[in-house]
Structures are given as C-alpha cells and as structure tokens.
Amino acid sequence: MDVKMSMNEMFKTESLRDLVFFPLLFNVVGLFFMGLLYVAYPETTIGSTQFNFVVYLSVFIVEWLLAFIVIRRFRKKNIRLKEFIIPKKEFRWMPAIVVFVSLNVLFAIYVLHPLIPIPPMKNLDLTQLLFFLVLAPVTAGFVEELIWRGYFVEKLLAKGYSESKAVLFSAISFAFIHGFFILDKLIVTFLFGLIAGIYYARERNLVVLTVTHVVLDVIAFALKIVM
C-alpha cells in the first residue's frame, strides 16, 4: 500500500478526541507536579527557578509520552516516522524564511514586552542550563510540531475538514497545552499555532517548523536567563 494512502487510512479511522485529551494531559500532569513541589517545598514562589524547572520538566515528560503514543500508532500501520517527517512538497526558501522570522519575532516581542510580566530565570546550575537551552527546546520543537502540525492537521484534513478549520482547531489545541489560565500565553501560542499551521498546510514541511521551533525556544529561554 502507498505510504500516503496508508496514512490517510489511519487518520480516517482515528478519533479527534486527542485534540482535547492531549492538552488536558499536559495540564493535569503539570498541576500534579506543582502540587508535589508545594508539598515538598511550601516556600516555593511562582516564577522561581525551582518552580520553572518543575513545570518544564513535567512538560518534557508529557511530550515524550505523547510522542511515544503517536509513533506507536504509526508503527501499527507500518508507517515509519521518517516517512511522515520527510517534506511532502518541494522546499521553497521564501515561505521558510517568512515563517522562521515571523515566529521568532512573535516570541521575542512576547518575552521582551514590558507590559507582560514574565519572571526571569536566575541562578541556574549547569544541569538546569543544559535542560532549558538544549533538552527542552529540542523536545518541544520535535514533539509539538510532529503532533500539533503534522499529526493533527493531517488527521483533520483526512477527515474532510478544510485547511482553514484544520489549522484553526490544531492551533486552539496547541494553545491549551500551554495552560488554561494564562491569557497572554494562550493568545501568543494560538497565534504561533495559526502561523505554523498555515505554513504546514501549504508547504507540508515539518523539518522547517521543527528547526524554527527549536531556535525560537532557545532564544526565548536565553532571553529569560539573561534578563
């Protein structure tokens, strides 16, 4: 069976409930880890280095768990991850540059905007530095683009949704993995999801989005560390 036909067959038979369940899992696990932190260290403050590390560690764990689930589904249908990630259209420089610049500018404005209170991360040890500048960005770039752009957009399209609805629904789901209660982060990640989703729907290139996402997160974390 052709790889594309196999993918479409898999997507058509799968439920869309993961658009809701995946963000719920992120938030439940995050709240659980924060609860453990406050039980062990009741003096912990929101925005502290210890708080940030625990929150992002919970995100790191959930992302690899979800990546395992999605990759396992591929294997059941004899679809190799490489086959899914390979760009499905001819690479074009201009759209790639536009999405790279626009997403990085969006997050740079968000992190540096004086009206948005984003606490800096200070006094990190070497392990924490490596986590925030290497492990967390690489994980987010790979897993979030694989699932929220490639997997969900392709699933919605295979089920007959228009490109605009596929991008919109995946962007909403993507925003909610970043927290249900932080309005400014919901807005900026929703915009991120729209921009990245539009690029993927038109260019079908997860590699560009993954590289862009990794660079963006490295810059965002670095700005928080040096602020």
Q: Provide the percentage of residues in the chain whose pLDDT is more than 90.
A: 58
Q: What is the pLDDT of residues 166-216, one digit of tens each?
A: 999 999 999 999 877 778 889 999 999 999 999 999 999 999 999 999 999
- Domain ranges, residue 193: 3-226
Question: Mean pLDDT across the stretch 116-129?
Answer: 81
* Four-residue CA torsion sign, 206, 128, 119, 67: positive
pLDDT more than 70, % of the chain: 96
- Binning pLDDT at 50, 70 and 90, where does residue 1 land? very low
DSSP characters over the chain: --HHHHHHHHHHHS-STHHHHHHHHHHHHHHHHHHHHHHH-TT--TTSHHHHHHHHHHHHHHHHHHHHHHHHHHHHTT--HHHHHS-SS---HHHHHHHHHHHHHHHHHHHH-TTS------S--HHHHHIIIIIHHHHHHHHHIIIIIIIHHHHHHHTT--HHHHHHHHHHHHHHTT-SS-HHHHHHHHHHHHHHHHHHHHH--HHHHHHHHHHHHHHHHHHHHH-
**Does residue 80 contact residue 192 with C-beta atoms inside 8 Å?**
no
**CB neighbours (10 Å) of residue 156?**
23
pLDDT at residue 151 is higher than 90: yes
pLDDT of residue 23: 95
Spatial separation of the C-alpha atoms in residues 58 and 141, rounded to whole Å? 16
Total number of domains in the chain: 1
Long-range contacts made by residues 14-18, C-beta under 8 angstroms, separation at least 24? 14/73, 14/155, 16/155, 16/156, 16/159, 18/152
Model pTM greater than 0.85?
yes
3-state secondary structure 57-79: HHHHHHHHHHHHHHHHHHHHCCC
pLDDT digits (tens, 9 = 90+) for 13-40: 778 899 999 999 999 998 899 899 989 8
pLDDT at 114: 63
pLDDT at position 60: 95
